[in-house]
Amino acid sequence: MTTEITLDLPTAEDTRALGRRLGGLLRAGDLLVLTGDLGAGKTTLTQGLGEGLGVRGPITSPTFVIARVHPSLQDGPALVHVDAYRLGDGAELDDLDLDESLDGSVTVVEWGAGVAEQLSEERLELILVRSGSAAEDQQGRSARLRGIGTRWDALLRQVSRP
């Protein structure tokens, strides 16, 4: 089953707010695969996810460390934040042993399209697209959320409500 919605995100704060809404609905075992150009808001969205999940921050791009684990400050799952930009293929992602932590955490893979799908048959794919040429904090975006599997239908209905 595949469910898809598209949301307009006029500001970076709207992108972060989407992350907070999503984060409040996620559970251990969820996989999110983020796609978008540089500056499209992948890390901003992940910061909101971290706020919604109640994990320890700060959440910054893990480009040079490849993966960071943000433990829960509450009684929820940890956030595993991965940047697959520098990874050549799924085999290099496999070397990170993410499947070992997948069941007990929420895993977010930036630049994960084409490499992270192997981690789970059920996942949420988010494609962020910038619009205009304004400063990054005021730049409009749109987000296409595509849920793969039965888990995501009801969740995406909740997220699409104002």
* CB hemisphere CA count around 25 (13 angstroms): 18
Distance CA 142, CA 113 (A): 17
Residue 138 — pLDDT band, cuts 50, 70, 90?
low
Q: What is the CATH number of the domain that holds 116?
A: 3.40.50.300
- Give how many domains the chain has, as a whole number: 1
In this predicted structure, the answer to whether residue 51 has a pLDDT above a threshold of 80 is: yes
Q: What is the pLDDT of residue 103?
A: 77
Structural domain boundaries enclosing 117? 2-160
In this predicted structure, the answer to whether residue 118 has a pLDDT above a threshold of 70 is: yes
Quote the percentage of the chain above a pLDDT of 70.
80
Q: The pTM is what?
A: 0.86
84-106 confidence digits (pLDDT tens): 766 655 545 555 555 566 678 99
